Amino acid sequence: IGGFFRPANQYADPAYALLLTRWFQFGAFTPVFRVHGADTNTELWHFGDATTSDILESAIHPRYRLLPYTYSGFRRVEAEGWS
């Protein structure tokens, strides 16, 4: 999530903040959920309170609310061959 090569003004660019939020929203439903970047700070708090709040509310919180559902599906696949 986040792309390896980012714009120089990544922390202040509203277009990049929106793109990063969309990447997190997509990533919330993928098995591997981690931020990437080359030669940059990738922690959310570097992008400001508004972007951090948007990402937390629209991607990270729903991902963890869905974990019981996700894990129960994994269990069914393993135990019953369900898919």
Q: Has this prediction a pTM greater than 0.85?
A: no
Q: Is the pLDDT of residue 13 over 90?
A: yes
Question: How confident is the model over 24-51, as pLDDT tens digits?
Answer: 999 998 888 888 878 888 888 999 999 9
Confidence (pLDDT) at 37: 79
Asked whether residue 2 carries a pLDDT value surpassing 90, the answer given is no
What is the pLDDT confidence band of residue 65, given thresholds at 50, 70 and 90?
very high
Distance CA 66, CA 80 (A): 21
